[in-house]
Amino acid sequence: MDIESQILIFVIISGIFLVLFISIAILFLIRLKSKDYLLKESGKKLKKYSKNLELIVAEKTKNLKSVNEHLRNQIEEREKLEKKLIISERLASIGELAAGLAHKIRNPLTIISSTAQFIESNNLSTNKIKKYTGNIIDSANKADEIIKSLLKFSSYRIQENDSSDLTPILQNIIKIIEPTTRNENIKIITDIPPSLSGLKFDCKRLEEVFSNLIFNAIDAMKNGGELSIMAKDYETKITIDIIDTGVGISVEKINKIFIPFFYLKKRRNGIGFKFSS
């Protein structure tokens, strides 16, 4: 091969490599421009999304402030209603307590009135008058004790348990209610042992429980009837049964009798067994 042919082949090969180099360079530039375009488009979209996000956040913040304001108003309104409810409940409790105390004071006053009427309407001997006058004095003392307990209402009273006999307590209550039951045409039937001792209890509180039960029984017999007071000693326990022939309590209300201030009587208002037990 002569030298001219060699030069021609070299030129052709060099041209091919030059074309390839130029093509690669063009492709590289095109790729760079494409990436730059994509970056610019992405930047635009990002700015757009960022602006939209700001608008959404601003709108949500505005809504959240409105909701918070609404909740704050509701909380304030609820607090006002709760304060009114507390005041209303306190006033209702005071009214119920006053009604219950009036009932407790009315019991001894009823005994005083009934005994005085009985003495006035019967020609009694001096000894019997002294006996019934003693009942009046006892009832007056009970009313005085109730007033004193009202004055000490805020102080806590410790239960004073002591060994005592239940029989004298029951007999004393029966003696006190005799004029009332006689005027109400109620017959008293008793079955009480001579002694019911061996237990420890608070005499005053237990006497109050029995008194309330017995007066409730008397109130239930508006047209007269029989009041049975029976006791039995079982060595390990003592049972006291107070039974009347009155109207009774309905099944719907029997489970409510130990609720404070629950009462059924229209003639008198009570504070319920809960406060006597």
Helical axes 166-183 vs 203-219, angle rounded to 10°: 30
Name which of 237, 190, 187, 247 is nearest 216 in CA terms: 247
Residue 77 has pLDDT above 50, yes or no: yes
| 210 in Cβ contact with 203 (< 8 Å) | no
212 assigned to some structural domain: yes
- In whole angstroms, give the CA distance from residue 259 to residue 239: 23
The whole-number pLDDT of residue 226 equals 94
Residue 276 has pLDDT above 60, yes or no: no
Residue 248 has pLDDT above 90, yes or no: no
Backbone angles phi, psi at 188, to 5 degrees: -95, 125
Residue 265 has pLDDT above 70, yes or no: no
- In whole angstroms, give the CA distance from residue 119 to residue 117: 5
258 assigned to some structural domain: yes
| 90 in Cβ contact with 97 (< 8 Å) | no
269 assigned to some structural domain: yes
220 assigned to some structural domain: yes
Q: Please give the tally of structural domains in the chain.
A: 1
pLDDT confidence of 34, banded at 50, 70, 90? low
Read off the CATH number of the domain in which 200 is found: 3.30.565.10
Q: How many CA atoms lie within 13 A of 93 on its CB side?
A: 7
Residue 249 has pLDDT above 50, yes or no: yes
* Locus of tokens 């009604």: 99
Q: What proportion of the chain, given as a percentage, has pLDDT over 70?
A: 73
Alpha helices in 184-236 (DSSP H): 203-219
193 assigned to some structural domain: yes
The whole-number pLDDT of residue 174 equals 92
Find the mean pLDDT for residues 73-84. 84
pLDDT confidence of 153, banded at 50, 70, 90? low
* Span 172-191, pLDDT tens digits: 999 989 988 998 899 999 99
Q: Does residue 87 or residue 161 have the better pLDDT?
A: 87
b/e sequence 164-176, b meaning 16+ C-beta within 10 Å: bebbebbeebbeb
Residue 273 has pLDDT above 60, yes or no: no
Q: What is the DSSP string of 81-131?
A: HHHHHHHHHHHHHHHHHHHHHHHHHHHHHHHHHHHHHHHHHS---HHHHHH
Q: What is the mean pLDDT of the chain?
A: 77
- In whole angstroms, give the CA distance from residue 101 to residue 88: 20
- DSSP bridge partners of 166: none
| 160 in Cβ contact with 130 (< 8 Å) | no
The whole-number pLDDT of residue 36 equals 64
Q: pTM above the 0.75 mark? A: no
87 assigned to some structural domain: no
Range of the structural domain that residue 226 is part of: 162-277
What is the C-alpha R_g of the chain?
Answer: 49
| 189 in Cβ contact with 227 (< 8 Å) | yes
89 assigned to some structural domain: no
The whole-number pLDDT of residue 231 equals 93
26 assigned to some structural domain: no
The whole-number pLDDT of residue 187 equals 94
Find the mean pLDDT for residues 190-197. 90
